[in-house]
Protein backbone atom coordinates (compact mmCIF):
# COMPACT_ATOMS: atom_id res chain seq x y z
CA UNK A 1 0.00 0.00 0.00
CA UNK A 2 1.13 3.53 -0.74
CA UNK A 3 0.59 6.42 1.68
CA UNK A 4 -0.08 9.97 0.55
CA UNK A 5 0.87 12.04 3.64
CA UNK A 6 4.10 13.57 2.33
CA UNK A 7 2.72 14.06 -1.18
CA UNK A 8 -0.17 15.98 0.42
CA UNK A 9 2.21 18.03 2.59
CA UNK A 10 4.20 18.96 -0.52
CA UNK A 11 1.02 20.51 -1.97
CA UNK A 12 1.15 23.28 0.64
CA UNK A 13 3.20 25.22 -1.92
CA UNK A 14 0.08 25.54 -4.10
CA UNK A 15 -2.06 27.31 -1.48
CA UNK A 16 -1.57 31.07 -1.44
CA UNK A 17 -2.13 33.29 1.56
CA UNK A 18 -3.66 36.78 1.71
CA UNK A 19 -6.06 35.91 -1.10
CA UNK A 20 -8.32 38.95 -0.60
CA UNK A 21 -5.45 41.41 -0.93
CA UNK A 22 -3.21 42.53 -3.76
CA UNK A 23 0.28 41.18 -3.08
CA UNK A 24 3.55 42.49 -4.46
CA UNK A 25 5.05 39.10 -3.57
CA UNK A 26 2.77 36.07 -3.32
CA UNK A 27 3.28 33.89 -0.24
CA UNK A 28 2.12 30.27 0.01
CA UNK A 29 1.44 28.29 3.17
CA UNK A 30 4.60 26.21 2.76
CA UNK A 31 6.75 29.35 2.81
CA UNK A 32 4.69 30.77 5.65
CA UNK A 33 4.97 27.57 7.70
CA UNK A 34 8.73 27.56 7.32
CA UNK A 35 8.96 31.16 8.52
CA UNK A 36 6.61 30.47 11.45
CA UNK A 37 8.77 27.49 12.45
CA UNK A 38 11.94 29.59 12.31
CA UNK A 39 10.35 32.36 14.40
CA UNK A 40 8.71 29.93 16.86
CA UNK A 41 12.09 28.28 17.39
CA UNK A 42 13.63 31.72 17.99
CA UNK A 43 10.91 32.68 20.49
CA UNK A 44 11.45 29.42 22.39
CA UNK A 45 15.22 29.99 22.45
CA UNK A 46 14.70 33.59 23.61
CA UNK A 47 12.34 32.38 26.34
CA UNK A 48 14.90 29.81 27.51
CA UNK A 49 18.21 31.63 27.02
CA UNK A 50 17.32 35.30 27.53
CA UNK A 51 14.48 35.12 30.05
CA UNK A 52 15.30 31.84 31.82
CA UNK A 53 11.96 30.21 31.07
CA UNK A 54 11.27 26.60 30.22
CA UNK A 55 10.84 25.70 26.56
CA UNK A 56 11.78 23.05 24.01
CA UNK A 57 12.75 24.98 20.85
CA UNK A 58 13.02 21.89 18.64
CA UNK A 59 9.58 20.60 19.64
CA UNK A 60 8.06 24.06 19.14
CA UNK A 61 9.66 24.44 15.70
CA UNK A 62 8.51 21.00 14.58
CA UNK A 63 4.93 21.67 15.66
CA UNK A 64 5.02 25.05 13.93
CA UNK A 65 6.03 23.44 10.62
CA UNK A 66 2.67 21.66 10.60
CA UNK A 67 0.49 24.42 12.10
CA UNK A 68 -1.34 25.11 8.81
CA UNK A 69 -1.20 21.60 7.33
CA UNK A 70 -4.99 21.22 7.48
CA UNK A 71 -5.19 24.02 4.90
CA UNK A 72 -4.15 21.45 2.28
CA UNK A 73 -7.84 20.49 2.34
CA UNK A 74 -9.48 23.72 3.54
CA UNK A 75 -7.45 26.35 1.74
CA UNK A 76 -6.35 29.51 3.54
CA UNK A 77 -9.45 31.13 4.97
CA UNK A 78 -8.99 34.94 5.08
CA UNK A 79 -8.93 36.25 8.67
CA UNK A 80 -11.90 38.64 8.29
CA UNK A 81 -14.07 35.71 7.22
CA UNK A 82 -12.59 33.09 9.55
CA UNK A 83 -13.29 35.22 12.64
CA UNK A 84 -16.43 37.00 11.43
CA UNK A 85 -18.62 35.47 14.15
CA UNK A 86 -18.48 32.65 16.74
CA UNK A 87 -20.48 30.24 14.57
CA UNK A 88 -17.96 30.51 11.73
CA UNK A 89 -15.06 30.08 14.17
CA UNK A 90 -16.63 26.94 15.62
CA UNK A 91 -17.50 25.50 12.23
CA UNK A 92 -14.03 26.21 10.82
CA UNK A 93 -12.30 24.62 13.83
CA UNK A 94 -14.43 21.51 13.22
CA UNK A 95 -13.47 21.48 9.54
CA UNK A 96 -9.78 21.90 10.46
CA UNK A 97 -10.09 18.98 12.86
CA UNK A 98 -11.60 16.77 10.14
CA UNK A 99 -8.87 17.82 7.71
CA UNK A 100 -6.17 16.96 10.28
CA UNK A 101 -7.78 13.56 10.85
CA UNK A 102 -7.78 12.96 7.10
CA UNK A 103 -4.08 13.80 6.98
CA UNK A 104 -3.36 11.41 9.86
CA UNK A 105 -5.19 8.64 8.00
CA UNK A 106 -2.78 9.13 5.09
CA UNK A 107 0.06 7.77 7.25
CA UNK A 108 0.84 4.18 8.19
CA UNK A 109 -0.67 3.36 11.59
CA UNK A 110 2.77 3.01 13.19
CA UNK A 111 3.58 6.67 12.41
CA UNK A 112 0.28 8.28 13.42
CA UNK A 113 1.16 8.56 17.10
CA UNK A 114 4.25 10.63 16.25
CA UNK A 115 2.36 13.01 13.95
CA UNK A 116 -0.91 13.34 15.86
CA UNK A 117 0.32 16.03 18.28
CA UNK A 118 1.80 17.97 15.36
CA UNK A 119 -1.50 18.02 13.45
CA UNK A 120 -3.96 18.46 16.32
CA UNK A 121 -4.41 20.67 19.36
CA UNK A 122 -2.65 18.02 21.49
CA UNK A 123 0.18 20.45 22.21
CA UNK A 124 1.02 22.17 25.49
CA UNK A 125 -0.46 25.61 26.10
CA UNK A 126 3.06 27.09 26.08
CA UNK A 127 3.87 25.54 22.70
CA UNK A 128 0.57 26.75 21.24
CA UNK A 129 1.20 30.27 22.58
CA UNK A 130 4.66 30.41 20.99
CA UNK A 131 3.34 29.14 17.65
CA UNK A 132 0.45 31.62 17.65
CA UNK A 133 2.86 34.45 18.49
CA UNK A 134 5.22 33.32 15.72
CA UNK A 135 2.28 33.14 13.29
CA UNK A 136 1.39 36.75 14.12
CA UNK A 137 5.02 37.85 13.82
CA UNK A 138 5.30 36.19 10.39
CA UNK A 139 2.11 37.95 9.30
CA UNK A 140 3.45 41.26 10.62
CA UNK A 141 6.74 40.77 8.76
CA UNK A 142 4.78 40.05 5.56
CA UNK A 143 2.74 43.23 6.07
CA UNK A 144 5.87 45.30 6.67
CA UNK A 145 7.56 43.81 3.58
CA UNK A 146 4.52 44.72 1.47
CA UNK A 147 4.51 48.27 2.87
CA UNK A 148 8.24 48.60 2.17
CA UNK A 149 7.48 47.58 -1.42
CA UNK A 150 4.97 50.45 -1.59
CA UNK A 151 1.85 48.28 -1.30
CA UNK A 152 -0.48 50.28 0.97
CA UNK A 153 -3.05 47.48 0.75
CA UNK A 154 -1.35 46.05 3.87
CA UNK A 155 -1.35 49.24 5.98
CA UNK A 156 -4.39 48.40 8.13
CA UNK A 157 -3.40 44.74 8.44
CA UNK A 158 0.04 45.84 9.68
CA UNK A 159 -1.49 48.17 12.28
CA UNK A 160 -3.95 45.56 13.52
CA UNK A 161 -1.31 42.83 13.67
CA UNK A 162 1.10 45.09 15.55
CA UNK A 163 -1.63 45.82 18.12
CA UNK A 164 -2.27 42.09 18.54
CA UNK A 165 1.44 41.44 19.06
CA UNK A 166 1.70 44.14 21.73
CA UNK A 167 -1.45 42.82 23.43
CA UNK A 168 0.21 39.40 23.83
CA UNK A 169 2.50 40.91 26.46
CA UNK A 170 5.09 38.20 25.80
CA UNK A 171 8.70 39.20 26.59
CA UNK A 172 9.95 36.90 23.81
CA UNK A 173 7.83 38.72 21.24
CA UNK A 174 8.90 42.16 22.47
CA UNK A 175 12.54 41.08 22.34
CA UNK A 176 12.12 39.80 18.77
CA UNK A 177 10.38 43.03 17.71
CA UNK A 178 13.14 45.19 19.23
CA UNK A 179 16.18 43.14 18.24
CA UNK A 180 15.29 41.53 14.91
CA UNK A 181 12.37 43.27 13.20
CA UNK A 182 14.28 46.41 12.08
CA UNK A 183 16.61 44.30 9.90
CA UNK A 184 13.67 43.19 7.75
CA UNK A 185 13.54 46.69 6.24
CA UNK A 186 17.19 46.67 5.15
CA UNK A 187 18.34 45.99 1.61
CA UNK A 188 20.64 43.04 0.92
CA UNK A 189 23.61 45.42 0.68
CA UNK A 190 22.69 46.95 4.04
CA UNK A 191 22.31 43.49 5.60
CA UNK A 192 25.72 42.45 4.28
CA UNK A 193 27.28 45.67 5.56
CA UNK A 194 25.77 45.14 9.03
CA UNK A 195 27.61 41.81 9.49
CA UNK A 196 31.07 42.97 8.40
In percent, the amount of the chain with pLDDT more than 70 equals 94
Entry pTM: 0.90
Mean pLDDT of 39-54: 97
pLDDT of 24-37, one tens digit each? 999 999 999 999 99
Report the distance separating Cα 61 and Cα 182, nearest Å: 23
- pLDDT at residue 85 in the model: 79
Mean pLDDT, the chain, rounded, equals: 91
Q: How far apart are CA 156 and CA 1, in angstroms?
A: 49
DSSP tag of 50: I
Question: How far is CA 20 from each of CA 72, 164, 184, 195, rounded to the nearest angstrom?
Answer: 18, 20, 24, 37
- Kindly tell me if the per-residue pLDDT of 196 is higher than 60: no
Confidence of residue 83 (pLDDT cuts 50, 70, 90): low
Amino acid sequence: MHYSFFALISRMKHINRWSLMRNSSVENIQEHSHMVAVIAHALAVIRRDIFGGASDPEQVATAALFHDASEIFTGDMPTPIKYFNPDIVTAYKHIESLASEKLLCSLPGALRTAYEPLLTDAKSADTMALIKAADKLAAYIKCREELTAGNLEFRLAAEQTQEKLIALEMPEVNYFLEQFLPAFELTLDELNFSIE
